[in-house]
Structure 1
Amino acid sequence: MRKISFVGVLPVAALTVFQPAFAQTEDVRKAAAKAKEEHITAHGRAQPLKDSAVIGGRLGLTVQHNPATINVIQRSVMEQRGYAHAEDAADSAPGVSSGGSPGSPAQMMMRGFSGNQVLILRDGIYYGPTTMVNRPLNSFNLESVQVLKGPSSVLYGQGAVGGTVDMRTRDPAFDGPHANALVSYGSFNTWNAGVGSSVPITDTLAIRSDFSRTSSDGYVAGADPHSNDFTTTLLWHPSKKFTARFGVDYLTDRLSTYYGTPLVPLAQVHDGVGGLLSSSKGLGVSRSSLWRYYNAKDAKAGSVNVTPTLHLTWQPTENMTFHNKTYVLYAKRNWNNAESYSYIGSAGQTDAAGNAIAPGRVGRDRFYVYMNQHQVGDTLDGQFDFHVFGMKNRLVVGGDAYYVRLIRNRGFPDATYADSVSLSSPESTAVGSFAGEYPYTKSPTTMVDAGIFMEDVLTVRDDLRVVGGFRYDWLKLDRQNYSQTGAFNPATSFKGNYNPANFRIGPVYDLTDNISLYGVYTTAEDPPGSNIFLVNKGQFSRLSQSRQGEIGAKGSFWKGRLSSTLSLYDIRRTRVLVATGVDSVATAGVQKSRGLEWQGDLTLGKHWSLSGNVAYTWSRYGSFHPSASVNASGNEVPNVPAVTANLWGVWSRVADLPVDLGAGMRYVSARKGDYANTLSLKDYALVNLFAAWHAYRGVTVYGRVDNVGNKHFIQWADTSYPSEVMLGAPRSFSISVQAGF
C-alpha cells in the first residue's frame, strides 16, 4: 500500500544528511545536539545540496558536486509521510515506481529499468540479485533511503543500469540517551509498531537497538503480510583516529501472498471494470473479481535473514583514511503457492487429477521454491588527499571480494493446471500435493567475485572539479542443475569466468557558490539480465554492456528557500536477457532509455512549503523475441510509465496552533503490461490528506486518508504471470502516535 502524506514540523538535526557515525566529527555531533531543540518547516525535499550522501561514492562529495542524480529520503520524512516500508520512500524520488509480486517482492523501476537492473543495498552492501533477495524493509529501523540514478558498476561492482537504492540503518548517538516509539492502526486491520533507543555506555562506547513489526490482513483479504525487524549497532570510538561499528540485522517476514487478479475475456464476462486497462485481445478485469484472493489458503512466502557487519575506520593523518567492512549473510526463503491464475474460456481443459475444468472458472498452478543463501565478503579502501601540480586531489583506492553460495530447490505439477476455483467466489483450498512436484529439482549456484577500484576528484579550480572512477572484476560463476532423480544435468549446468572493466568520468562546474552544472559518462558490465542464479547453459557467454550519458544542473536560490535539480540522460544496454516466466529467460538484444528528471522544493514563510518532482522516461527494446510467437522488437518496456509526478504541500502550525495540515498527489501515466504491448495499463492519480496534532513535546498524533477518491488502478503487471495483474490499494485510513525523546 503506497502512502503519500506530508511532513510537518521536524527537528533541524533530522534534515542533516545521514552519514555513518564513525564519519562524524565532534563538531558535527555538538551542532546536531544543539539543533535538536529547534524546529523548522520541512517540506519533503530529498536533502540539502550542500550535504553529502554515502551512496554517491567514497569521495565524500556533496550532492551539488557529485556528477550524478542523488535523492535521500530522511527518516523524519518517512515518519511524517507514513512510509511503512523502504520502497514507499523510494517511490517519492523523481521517476521511481515500485511493485512486483510475492515471487519477486519490493521491485523498483527507474530510468526505464526494473528488477535486477535496480540494485538494492543494505548499508552499502550487495547481497545478491534484487529479484531473489530483496524484501520489504520496515522503515522504522532506517535512518534514510538513498537513491542513485544510472549505472553503478564503478561504485558497487554490479551494473544495475537503472539505479541503486541503499537502505541505511540507524547509528547510536553519544550526546545522551534517546528513545523512539511508533504505534499505528488503520484499514484492513493494519498495525505498525516500533520501539528503539540509543544509549551512550561510556564516552567512547554507545549502543542502539530498534525493533519494528508490521502486520495486516491485506487490502486483498487473505494475503496477510507481516514482518519483524530487529537491528542493533554497537559503536566504539576510542579516539579521533579510530572507530569500530558492529551491527546485526535480524529480519523475519511473511510476504503478501496476493499474486494478482485474473484477466478475463470481456466478450464472455460482461461486468468489466472501466478505467483499469485496455487490451487489443479484448481482456479486462471482472468487477466480481475485485479484491478476491485466488491463492491457496495455506500459501507461503516467507524468509529469515541474519546479517552481521563490522566496519573499521582508521585515520592515521589528516590526509589519509582507511576503511574496512566485513559482512556475513545467512538467509532462508520459501515460497509454496498457487501463483498463476488463468481464466478458462472454453471446455476441454483438465486439472492435475484429470477432472474437467468448467468454462468460467480460473485454472491455478502450483509452484514452490526453498532456498538457502550463505555469503561472506570484505571491502578495504584507502582515501588520500594530496596536490597534483598545485591542484587539490582526493584519491580512493581499494578492493573487495565476496563468496555467495545459494541452493535453490523447486517443484511444480506436471499438469498445466493443478486445480481450479470460481472467478467470483474462489474456494479456500489447500496448497496440496500433486504428481510431478516431488522430489524437487535442485540448483546449487556458487559465485565468487574479486575486484579492484579507484575513485578520484581533481579540483582544477575553485569552480571546476573533474570526477572519475574505474573498477575491474574477476567474476567466477558455477551454476549446477540436478534432475528430480538427483542426477547431474550437464546440458543446463555451466561454469563461467568474466572480467568486467568499467569507468565513469565527468566535470562539475560552479556557476555560483550555490549553482552547479555537470556532465558524466558512465559504463557498466554485468550479468546480462534476469537473475544470475536462474540462467542456464547457452543463455549467455558474455556479460551485458551498458553506457550512460547524463548532463544536469543543481542549485539553491532565494537564500536557500528554493532548491532544484534537473537531469537529462541517455542509456543504451546491449546483450540483454529478460525473464519471461518464473523459470525462463529470452534474449532482448538491446534496451534503450532516455529522459529527464526534475525536483523542486520551496519554503514560503514559516508555515507554508511545497515540494514536487516530475520525470519523463522513453524506454524501448531493440531486437527482442520473448517467445517464438511474439516479436517485441521496438516495443515499450513493460511497467515503465512515460510520466511520473509527485506534489506535496504542508501548512504547519495552523493559526499558531500545534496542528499541521497537508495534502499530496501522485500521478503515474499509462504503461504497457506485456512484452507484445497488447495490454495497456491506464494512468492514475492518487490524492492523500493528513492532519497532525503535536500533543506534547516530542509526541505527535497523525490521522491520514490515502487514495481519498478510492481510485481503482493497476499498480504492476508481472510479466512472469501474464494472465493476471496486480491491483493497487483502495482508500484507507490510519491513525498513529509517534514519540521521540
Structure 2
Amino acid sequence: MFIRFRSILGVFYIAISLFSFSVTADEKEDKEVEEPATKENVLVIVGDVVGELSLFEESSTASRLGLSSLETPATVETITSDVMRARGYQKLSDAIESLPGVVTGEHPTAPSTFSIRGFTRGQVTVLRDGLWIGPSTMVMRPQNTFNLEKIEVLRGPSSVVNGIGAVAGTVNAITRTAKQTDTNLVETLVSYGEFNSHHLGVNASGKMGEKSWYNVSVSDYGSDGYVDRTDLSSTNLNASGLWHINENLGIKFSVDHLEDDVGSYFGTPLVPISVARDPLTSAVTTERGETLDGATRFNNYNVEDAVAESEQTFWRLDFDWQLADNMRLQNTTYSFDAEREWLNAEGYVYCTQVVGTCTEIGTVQRYYGYFMLDHEQDLIGNRTTLNIDSQFGDMDNRFVIGAETISVDFERARGFRRSAPQVPGDAVDLYDVVPGVYGPRELRGISPTEIDTLAIFAENALQVNDDFNLVAALRYDEMDLDRKNFNASGELEANGFSREYDWTSWRLGAVYNIADKSMIYAQYSDAKDPINSNIFLVNNNQDFDLTSAKQWEVGMKSIWMDGNAETTISYFDIQRDDIFERFSLDSATNVGGRESNGIEISLTMTPSENWRFGANASYTNAEFLGSANFETLAGNTPPNVAEVTANTWLSYNNFAELPLEIGFEWHHVGDRYGDNANTVKLKSYALFDIFAAWKADNYRISFRVDNAFDEEYVPWSDVFYLHQDSPGFIYANQLMLGAPRTYRLSLETNF
C-alpha cells in the first residue's frame, strides 16, 4: 500500500539531504533566524487597533515559508484578536463576514459555514490551529473569539497547502498559545445583553520558570436566543505550555476542549403571501408565491426536548528545533476526539392542502422532519516540516518540505421518523406553537468510515532580485477510504465501498515590487479533491473519480500614507468540475461543475490620531456548469452567493476630549438565491451597528447595538430544507431569519 507515496517520499528526502549538505551556515551569516516562539504576549486595550489588513504579518495558512501577506501571491487576510474585540465580534462568523465577498450561515446543521468566491459549505476548508480535523460541514462549531489569537483567511484553491476540500479558500482559527515573554498578564471579559445573553472570559499568560511559559483561556457563552427556546451555550478551555530546552529547541504542549449546544432554532416555515399576517416580502420571495410571516418571527417549531450538543478535545505536541542558522525542523503530533448528539424535529411544512401527512390545512407538519444523529470521531495526525534558507547564486532562497499523515475513524448513526404512526402532536399551529416531545426513536443505520491520508508537500520562494519574487508549491496526497453501512439490525448493507485515491496539487506565483511597500502579484493554482469533501455522505453509487479546481488570480497590495493606510485589490477566476451538492439529510447529488470570477477590494486607514476608517467591497459572478450527465442547473447561480457585498466601519477616539470612543459598522449583502433551481430569492439586506466605549489604562467599558434599524432578513439558506414538500414526502420548507436589534454591555480588563 502507498508504494508510489513511499517512492516519491524517498526521492524528496534524498533531495533534501543533498541540498542541505550544499548549504553552509556562512551563506546566511547576515540573516537572522527567529528562535522558536519568541514573540511577546502584549495586550492592546480594546479599541486601540481597528481595521488593519496586517500586510506585514506572516501567514502559516497561506505558506509555511514564513512569507508575509505582501510577499504572498494570493489574497491573505488576518483578523487579530485586538480587531475582533475592538469591533465587538463574539463569534468567528461575526469576524469572517466583515471580509469582502463573504456570506456566513449559522444553521445548526452546519454552524459557521461560509460562501467565498462563489463556493460554499464543504468547499471552504476550516482549520483549527492550522490542522484539518474533518469536513467543515460536520465538525465546525460556533467558536468564541475570546479564545482566539487571530483568524487567517486564504482565498482560492489552497489544497496545495492545506489538503482536502480547500477549493474556495481556507479559514484558519488560531487559538491563544504560550509564548516567550517576561510579562504575567490576566485578561477578563464580562458581557451581558438582550435575550439573557452573556459572555465571560479569563485569559492568563506568563512565565512559569526560567525557560518555560504558559497560557490558559476559558470562555463561556450562553443565550436564550432571539427565537423562543433556542438556548445556545458554549464553554471553551484551551491551555498550553512552552519549554525551551535550550536556545535551539522548544517543546509546546496544548489542549483545547469545547462543549456546546448550537440551539434548537431550525427555521421558520414559508407560507403563501396571501396567508401571512405580516408578509416579509422584503426579505424573501419564491416563484410559488411564498414568503415568511413576520408574526412568526420568534416562534420555534422544534420539540421541547431537542438536543444539538457536542463535546470535543484537541491535543497536540509541537517540537521546534533550529538545526542550524539556516535550517529549522518542526513536528506536530495531534489527536482530535469528538462526540455529537442530535435529536430534533427539524423539518417544517405549512400545509396548504390535505395530502400525504398534511391532515389539516393551515397547520405546520413535522412528521417526516424528526431526525436523530450521533457522531463518534477519532482522529490522529502528524506533520513534519523542514525549512532551509540558502543562496542560489546571488539570490536568496527559502525552501520547505514536509510530510503529513491523518487517520480518521468516524462513526455516524442516524435515524428518521418512518414507521412510527403519525399522531396529532406532529402538527402544530403556525402562530400558537405547542412544541411537544420527540417521541419514539427510529434508528436508520450506522455508517463507520475510516480514512487514512498520507501527503508530502514542498514550497519554494526565490528572491530573484530586490523587486521580484517567485513562489511555487507542490503537494501529493494518497487517501484510503473504507465506508460501511449497517442497517438498524446491525446487518451490513451493499451500498458501502472502499477506494484508494491519489492526486497532485500545485501553485505557481510571482510578486513584483512596483514601489516602496506596493506589490503586484499573479498566481495560477491547480487542485484535485475527492468529488465531495464531505466524503461521509458518499455511497457506492456515487463512487466517482477526482474533481479538479483551477484558479488564476492577479492583484495588488499596498501600504501608503506613511504606513497609515493599506489597500488590497484582486481579480480571480475559478472553475471546478463534478461537484456534489447536498440535497437531503443523508445524500449528495452530482450537479455538474461550477465557475466563478470577480473582484475584491479592501482599504483601511488612520487619517489622524483619532479617526479610523475601513471599507471593502466585492463583485462575484458565479454559475453552475453542465456536465455529460447533468444539465438541469447549468447557468443557475449557486445558493448563498451574493453578487455584491460591502462593509464600512468608522470610529472616533477621544470624543469631546474624553477617553471615549464612538463608532459604527455597516454590513451589506446583496440578493442571493436560496435554492439550486433559483426559485427562492433571498433579498439584499444592510445591517447598521453602533458602539461607544469608555477606556482607561487597564479597562474598557463598551455599549453596542447590533442591527440598530431592526432589519428583517434571511442571512443563509440550506437547500435541503427548502421545497422538500412533495405529497409523498412532506419534509421541510423553511428558512432561518437573522437576529433582530440587540444590545450588550461589556467590561474588559487586564492586570
TM-score range, shorter chain: over 0.9
Aligned to 1:495: 498
Corresponding position: 1:94 with 2:94: no
SS in 1 for 2:592: strand
SS in 2 for 1:87: helix
SS in 2 for 1:168: strand
Structure 2 counterpart of 1:306, from 313, 316, 319: 313
1:409-448 equivalent positions in 2, closer than 5 A? 409-414=413-418, 419-433=426-440, 437-438=442-443, 440-448=444-452
Aligned to 2:684: 683
Structure 1 counterpart of 2:132, from 103, 126, 131: 126
Corresponding position: 1:604 with 2:607: yes
Aligned to 1:148: 154
**CA distance, structure 1, for counterparts of residue 450 and residue 702 of structure 2:** 48
**Counterpart residue type for residue 740 of structure 2:** P
Aligned to 1:371: 375
**CA distance, structure 1, for counterparts of residue 36 and residue 297 of structure 2:** 51
Aligned to 1:518: 521
Q: Deviations over 1:455-507 (max 9, x none)?
A: 000111110010000000111100110112211112x1000111110100011
Q: Give 1:268 deviation, angstroms.
A: 4.2
Change (3 A) 1:417 1:610: farther
**CA distance, structure 1, for counterparts of residue 278 and residue 69 of structure 2:** 52
Aligned to 1:471: 475
Q: Give 1:50 deviation, angstroms.
A: 2.0
* Structure 1 contact 309–328 (Cα < 8 Å) conserved: yes
**CA distance, structure 2, for counterparts of residue 533 and residue 508 of structure 1:** 39
**CA distance, structure 2, for counterparts of residue 45 and residue 281 of structure 1:** 45
1:59-458 equivalent positions in 2, closer than 5 A? 59-173=65-179, 174-269=181-276, 271-350=278-357, 357-364=359-366, 365-414=369-418, 419-433=426-440, 437-438=442-443, 440-458=444-462
**CA distance, structure 2, for counterparts of residue 730 and residue 294 of structure 1:** 18
* Structure 1 contact 588–625 (Cα < 8 Å) conserved: no
SS in 2 for 1:155: helix
Aligned to 2:649: 648
Change (3 A) 1:444 1:423: same
* Structure 2 contact 135–165 (Cα < 8 Å) conserved: no
SS in 1 for 2:708: coil
Q: Give 1:195 deviation, angstroms.
A: 0.8
SS in 1 for 2:85: helix
Q: Give 1:605 deviation, angstroms.
A: 1.1
Q: Give 1:269 deviation, angstroms.
A: 4.1
Q: Give 1:298 deviation, angstroms.
A: 0.9
Q: Give 1:357 deviation, angstroms.
A: 2.5
Q: Which runs of 5+ in 1 are unaligned?
A: 1-19, 351-355
Change (3 A) 1:74 1:21: farther
Q: Does 60-69 or 261-270 show the bigger shift?
A: 261-270
**CA distance, structure 2, for counterparts of residue 494 and residue 171 of structure 1:** 41
Q: Give 1:530 deviation, angstroms.
A: 6.0
* Structure 1 contact 530–578 (Cα < 8 Å) conserved: no
SS in 1 for 2:381: strand
Q: Give 1:600 deviation, angstroms.
A: 0.2
Q: Does 462-471 or 539-548 show the bigger shift?
A: 539-548
Change (3 A) 1:516 1:23: farther
Q: Give 1:38 deviation, angstroms.
A: 9.8
Q: Deviations over 1:596-618 (max 9, x none)?
A: 11110111111011111111111
**Counterpart residue type for residue 95 of structure 1:** G
Change (3 A) 1:39 1:272: closer
**CA distance, structure 2, for counterparts of residue 292 and residue 38 of structure 1:** 40
* Structure 2 contact 370–416 (Cα < 8 Å) conserved: yes
**CA distance, structure 1, for counterparts of residue 173 and residue 315 of structure 2:** 15
SS in 2 for 1:201: strand
**CA distance, structure 1, for counterparts of residue 100 and residue 348 of structure 2:** 34
Q: Give 1:413 deviation, angstroms.
A: 1.3
Q: Give 1:51 deviation, angstroms.
A: 2.3
**CA distance, structure 2, for counterparts of residue 21 and residue 145 of structure 1:** 22
Q: Deviations over 1:187-207 (max 9, x none)?
A: 111000001101301121011
**Counterpart residue type for residue 343 of structure 1:** Y
Q: Which runs of 5+ in 2 are unaligned?
A: 1-32, 723-732
SS in 2 for 1:461: coil
* Structure 1 contact 624–632 (Cα < 8 Å) conserved: no
Aligned to 2:566: 563
**CA distance, structure 2, for counterparts of residue 626 and residue 214 of structure 1:** 47
* Structure 2 contact 49–86 (Cα < 8 Å) conserved: no
Aligned to 1:462: 466
SS in 2 for 1:78: helix
Q: Give 1:368 deviation, angstroms.
A: 0.6
**CA distance, structure 2, for counterparts of residue 555 and residue 147 of structure 1:** 18
Q: Give 1:238 deviation, angstroms.
A: 2.9
Aligned to 1:545: 548
Q: Deviations over 1:540-571 (max 9, x none)?
A: 32111100000000001111111100000000
Aligned to 1:6: none
**CA distance, structure 2, for counterparts of residue 624 and residue 676 of structure 1:** 16
**Counterpart residue type for residue 632 of structure 2:** N
**CA distance, structure 1, for counterparts of residue 156 and residue 673 of structure 2:** 22
Change (3 A) 1:584 1:229: same
SS in 2 for 1:79: helix
Percent same amino acid at aligned positions?
35
* Structure 1 contact 672–681 (Cα < 8 Å) conserved: yes
**CA distance, structure 2, for counterparts of residue 87 and residue 533 of structure 1:** 24
Q: Give 1:23 deviation, angstroms.
A: 3.9
* Structure 2 contact 239–256 (Cα < 8 Å) conserved: yes
Aligned to 1:707: 707
Q: Give 1:417 deviation, angstroms.
A: 7.1
Change (3 A) 1:732 1:502: same
**CA distance, structure 1, for counterparts of residue 88 and residue 150 of structure 2:** 14
TM (norm. structure 1) is: 0.92
**Counterpart residue type for residue 452 of structure 2:** V
* Structure 1 contact 175–200 (Cα < 8 Å) conserved: yes
Q: Give 1:172 deviation, angstroms.
A: 2.5
Q: Give 1:76 deviation, angstroms.
A: 0.9
Aligned to 2:26: none
* Structure 2 contact 468–511 (Cα < 8 Å) conserved: yes
**CA distance, structure 2, for counterparts of residue 334 and residue 38 of structure 1:** 39
Corresponding position: 1:659 with 2:669: no
Aligned to 2:20: none
Corresponding position: 1:736 with 2:746: yes
Aligned to 1:43: 50
Q: Give 1:21 deviation, angstroms.
A: 10
Change (3 A) 1:708 1:268: closer
* Structure 2 contact 44–82 (Cα < 8 Å) conserved: no
Change (3 A) 1:319 1:690: same
**CA distance, structure 2, for counterparts of residue 37 and residue 523 of structure 1:** 40
**CA distance, structure 1, for counterparts of residue 191 and residue 35 of structure 2:** 33
**Counterpart residue type for residue 477 of structure 2:** D
Aligned to 1:12: none
Aligned to 1:576: 579
* Structure 2 contact 592–629 (Cα < 8 Å) conserved: no
SS in 2 for 1:447: strand
Aligned to 1:726: 736
**Counterpart residue type for residue 709 of structure 2:** G
**CA distance, structure 1, for counterparts of residue 474 and residue 715 of structure 2:** 38
Q: Give 1:106 deviation, angstroms.
A: 1.3
* Structure 2 contact 50–82 (Cα < 8 Å) conserved: no
